[in-house]
Amino acid sequence: MAEIEREAMEYDVVIVGAGPAGLSAAIRLKQLDADLNVVVLEKGSEVGAHILSGAVLDPCGLDALIPDWKEKGAPLNVPVKDDNFYMLGEAGQLRIPNAPMPPLMNNHGNYIVSMGNVCRWMAEQAEALGVEIFPGMACSEMVYGDNGEVKGVVAGVFGLEPDGSYGPNTEPGMELHGKYVFLSEGVRGSLSKEVIAKYDLSAGKEPQKYGVGMKEIWEIDPEKHKEGSVTHTMGWPLGSNAGGGSFIYHLENNQVYVGFVVHLNYKNPYLYPYMEFQRFKHHPMVAELLKGGKRVAYGARAITEGGYQSMPKLVAPGVALLGCSAGMVNVPRIKGNHNAMLSGKAAAEAAYDAIKAERSGDELTAYETVVRDGAIGSDLKKVRNVKPLWSKYGLTASLALGGMDMWTNTLGFSLLGTLGHGKNDAESTEDASKHQPIDYPKPDGVLSFDRLTNVSFAATNHEESQPCHLRLADPDIPVKVNLPEFDEPAQRYCPAGVYEVVEDENGPRFVINFQNCVHCKTCDIKDPSQNITWTTPQGGDGPNYPNM
Ligand SMILES: Cc1cc2nc3c(=O)[nH]c(=O)nc-3n(C[C@H](O)[C@H](O)[C@H](O)COP(=O)(O)OP(=O)(O)OC[C@H]3O[C@@H](n4cnc5c(N)ncnc54)[C@H](O)[C@@H]3O)c2cc1C
């Protein structure tokens, strides 16, 4: 194929992803120097379209970035008023008192928000400062310089032929070059994955760990709605099959976020995270809350869970990993937005200093130091053993041991040191022969829904004529390896029903309905053969979340 000719645009800083991390970096750069040229590229059709969090927001990141956010109209309208933890059994629940919980678990001072709306508001602040934001622009390739440094990205490739080749209607996109490139793609970023591998940034670190989070917005009976109420549950229906739990957050307008996270290190390939979520809503406590209400939106996204010991090196020549591109979620708090914002601010400050000193294309080591030795490192370090304890000893033991470790860490020490995670999530999947299929009740269409019906509430859309963005390294593996060994778990772990094994006269066939993809990235993480690579479809495609 002939060399592709692309126009190039030059910036001081190129930012990939308009989530809380990327937007914070953009805002901070322009606060520091209004003359810096800063661009933010976002694959969603608009800022916020692909944002999915719980979300209870710890405002410490926003406080540091825009101290007068209240006066500026930030959509943080619902302070947390009460905080409840329950251990669920199939027919009942046990309230875990708040008193023995370490102070870091307290949600007092936090807000129930739509992070999509927070990002839309942050984008307005950034644009008012002069940041260029281009939604509908997926960044599909890295651009490297002559000395092996990151020089930029390719964005805005449209109209590829179904086989991936260039055709008469293909727009080749543009190269956006920067003195520094910030990757703020969120969990399992496709370019971040490439950069982590190219520069071996995970060397000497524990493997990154993940969960898959699914979420619905419900409008419920006003009599049952308690604005500001936060509930977390553990236990049923997952039991000992997998780690995870639920969240129920009452926001404004009689709406409730109902969500469920399943840790992706589960062993049983028959486990079906989406159906666990649907089953959870039939628990008497949850069913009573939702009865008479209606589900108005659905979405899913992976969440990073490796924490402190899994964070890769954050910088390589010309590039920095921000927020969940590097995995900055505090797992027991299920919070990462505050760290995403703080990391964006820190990266911006390091780049500003470097550019003032006429540097470019080198390592922003000052950023790495601020993250590890500052507020983010301290937030993540205190809780670093919770996930490994849960993986190793299960829920009950880890509640006691993890709670104790968080308490001692709050006082400045740990009796356990830093525990490792061991295997990555793909390697955790065991042979189907070691497990029994799980019999999930059929959704009733009232409280629980089949996957495809729910996916229609994610308003996801992909132009069908484009190449499939879910690439198989070896197209034979799903049927030849994954089916006999693992009963092809892609059929179940994908919360959007993208993957099917279809039987016809020629035998089983693996089908990828990429049009349904909600960009959660679970397939890229959990495929036991590590054969699926999630790449960006053309810009503007994917879910269109209203106020997730
Ligand atoms: C179910 C669930 C519940 C959660 N609950 C909470 C909570 O209650 N509180 C909390 O603080 N945190 C919560 N989190 C964690 C929180 O969502 C993350 O920590 C946070 O989103 C990280 O921000 P980010 O800016 O790094 O990435 P993201 O918010 O994921 O933003 C990344 C952006 O980059 C875009 N992008 C990605 N790749 C490309 C590309 N190649 N080209 C162009 N654009 C691209 C994406 O479309 C997206 O808009 C939750 C996560 C999940 C999944």
Mean pLDDT, the chain, rounded, equals: 96
Summarize the confidence of residues 36-49 as an average pLDDT. Answer: 98
Q: How far apart are CA 199 and CA 148, in angstroms?
A: 10
What integer is the mean pLDDT of 263-280?
98
- Once rounded to an integer, what is the mean pLDDT over residues 9-15? 98
Average pLDDT over residues 253-273: 98
For range 487-509, the mean pLDDT:
97
> Can you tell me the distance from the alpha carbon of 363 to that of 120, in angstroms, rounded to the nearest whole number?
30
* CA-186 nearest atom, ligand 1: 27
Q: List the structure tokens of 523.
A: 């397939």
User: Ligand 1, from 263, 303, 328, 524: best to mutate by most atoms within 8 Å of Cβ?
Assistant: 303
Dihedral sign for Cα atoms in the order 323, 327, 328, 329: positive
Residue-wise pLDDT tens digits, 102-122: 888 899 999 999 999 999 999
> pTM for the full model?
0.97
Residue 345: Cβ within 10 Å count: 22
Model pLDDT for residues 342-374, shown as the tens digit of each residue: 999 999 999 999 999 999 999 999 999 999 999
Q: Is the previous residue joined to 237 through a cis bond, with omega within 30 degrees of 0?
A: yes
* 222, 374, 376 from 381: Cα distances, Å: 41, 11, 8
DSSP assignments along 461-489, one per residue: B--TTSPPSEEESSTTHIIIIIHHHH--T
Rounded CA-CA distance 425/370 in Å is 29
Position 539 scores a pLDDT of 95
Flag whether pLDDT at 68 surpasses 90.
Answer: yes
φ, ψ at 178 (rounded to 5°): -140, 155
Contacts of 318 (CB under 8 A, 6+ apart): 145, 149, 150, 151, 178, 179, 180, 181, 360, 361, 362
**CA 310, 186, 316, 471 torsion: positive or negative?**
positive
Residue nearest to atom 29 of ligand 1 (CA): 19
| Bridge partners (DSSP) listed for residue 218 | 256, 295
| Rounded Cα gap, residues 257 and 73, in angstroms | 22
Residue in 120, 334, 525 to alter for ligand 1 test, most ligand atoms within 8 A of Cβ: 334
In this structure, the number of other CB atoms found within 10 A of the CB of residue 410 comes to: 13
3-class DSSP state for residue 274?
helix
**Ligand 1, from 62, 140, 182, 185: best to mutate by most atoms within 8 Å of Cβ?**
185
Residue 399 has pLDDT above 60, yes or no: yes
Total count of residues recorded for the chain:
548
Q: Check: CB of residue 328 under 8 Å from CB of residue 311.
A: yes
Q: Residue type for 87, please?
A: M
- pLDDT digit string (tens) for 72-102? 999 999 999 999 999 999 999 999 988 888 8
Tell me, using a 6 A CB cutoff, whether residue 215 lines ligand 1. Answer: yes
- Tell me which DSSP letter residue 73 carries: T
Other beta carbons within 10 Å of 483: 19
Q: How far is the CA of 338 from the centre of ligand 1 (A)?
A: 11
Residues above pLDDT 90, as percent of the chain: 91
> 387, 244 in Cβ contact below 8 A?
no
Question: What is the helix (H) or strand (E) element at residue 299, kind and residue range?
Answer: strand 294-304
Q: 10 Å Cβ neighbour count for 163?
A: 8
How close is the Cα of 424 to the center of ligand 1, in Å?
Answer: 21
Question: To the nearest whole percent, how much of the chain has pLDDT over 70?
Answer: 100
Q: In angstroms, rounded to a whole number, what is the distance separating the alpha carbons of residues 408 and 393?
A: 19
pLDDT at residue 180, as a whole number: 98
pLDDT at 100: 82
Q: pLDDT at residue 1 above 80? A: no
76 C-alpha to ligand 1 centroid (Å): 18
Q: Which residue has the higher pLDDT, 398 or 267?
A: 267
More confident residue, 277 or 546: 277
Q: What is the pLDDT of residues 118-149, one digit of tens each?
A: 999 999 999 999 999 999 999 999 999 999 99
Angle formed by the axes of helices 20-32 and 115-129, to 10°? 20
Q: Which two tokens stand for residue 135?
A: 């939604």
**What are the tokens at 247?**
């969240």
Residue minimizing CA distance to atom 20 of ligand 1:
337
Closest by CA to 211, choosing from 256, 277, 278, is: 277
* Pocket flag, ligand 1, residue 536 (CB < 6 Å): yes
Best residue among 58, 158, 324, 376 to mutate for probing ligand 1, ranked by most atoms within 8 Å of CB: 324
Atom index in ligand 1 nearest the CA of residue 139 equals 42
- Give the pLDDT of residue 2: 58
Indicate if ligand 1 lies below 6 Å from the C-beta of 232: no
Name the band, by pLDDT with cuts 50, 70 and 90, for residue 277. Answer: very high
Tell me the mean pLDDT in the region 193-199: 98
